[in-house]
Amino acid sequence: MKKLLILTILFFGLNTISAQDGNFVETNGVKLYYEVHGEGEPLVMLHGFTLSHTIWDQFVANFSKEYQVILVDLRGHGRSTNPTEVFTHKEFAKDIYGLMDSLQINTFKAIGFSSGGITLTHMATMDTSRIEGMVIIGSASFMPEEARERLATISYETMSDDRINWWKEHHPGGEAQIRVILNNWEKIVSSYDDTNFTPPYLSSIITPTLIIHGDRDAFFPVDMPITSYKAIPNSYLWIVPNFGHRAFDDVPLWADTFTNVTLQFLSGEWND
């Protein structure tokens, strides 16, 4: 009996420990999946459209040495739900603020790639006091024609088997979940409201901001981050030569450089 009791306690103890890595919060009509790694000042890391929190896996070990890293699946992506099947970056922003409120986190730093960066831009203009520093990578202040034309060609039928299988690794709902996400590409292509930050609007951002952009980005041309850099008062611009949209982890050496520079920026050293 004692052995059975000990084994039972051990079993539930191990499950409690593993459960600490992945949790759900209900907010804004959705159920968001998130993970917490490390201790210290909160650092939220947001993925891009069609992806999941797992794109940051290779960076967690280094960032969690300095921060309490919070990885999130945006609504409808990964393990997060989206009953309405509506995707907008503004709703993403409300979701993340809802998550922070649920975790009782008032101020935090953040990193966002692509849609994650657009989400952070919404957040930084919605509330200028909560984000203490942010890094936006391959992001956009508006949806240019280059992106609209490219997005219009993307569908489940036009993707290769390798791409579909890769997406299935991110999305446990499989084909049905992926189709819902891809169907929203069309809405993003046709929308002129959700991503439309003019320079006067961007100038309201007081958050120290590091803008990272590949000079070969096929979605968002290089003049876009330059415009954002000029408009956001306390901003820094890093144009990465010979890199495309995902200019942070394509090459191992570059991933290390991205980590070092980003940690240095987030530490506040540059503000001095």
Longest dimension (CA), the chain: 71
Q: Find the mean pLDDT for residues 227-243.
A: 95
pLDDT in tens, 12-29: 333 333 334 579 999 999
> Which two tokens mark 13?
């103890």
Which pLDDT tens digit goes with each residue over 28-66? 999 999 999 999 999 999 999 999 999 999 999 999 999
pLDDT of residue 250: 63
Check whether 82 has a pLDDT greater than 80: yes
Q: Which whole number is the average pLDDT over 228-254?
A: 87
Q: How far apart are CA 265 and CA 267, in angstroms?
A: 5
CATH architecture group of domain 25-271 = 3-Layer(aba) Sandwich (3.40)
Q: Which amino acid is at 210?
A: L
pTM above threshold 0.75: yes
Check pLDDT > 70 for residue 10: no
Q: Is 134 helix (H, G, I), strand (E, B) or coil?
A: strand
**Backbone torsions φ then ψ of 30, nearest 5 degrees:** -130, 165
Quote the CA–CA distance of 26 and 116 in Å, as a whole number: 19
Please tell me the predicted confidence (pLDDT) of residue 251: 63
270 or 175: which leads in pLDDT: 175
pLDDT confidence of residue 104: 97
Q: What's the token pair of residue 198?
A: 């003019």
pLDDT(186) > 90 = no
The amino acid occupying position 21 is D
Check: CB of residue 52 under 8 Å from CB of residue 78: yes
SS3 46: strand
Residue with more model confidence, 209 or 144: 209
Residue 61 parent element (H or E): helix 57-63
Instruction: Check pLDDT > 80 for residue 271.
Output: no
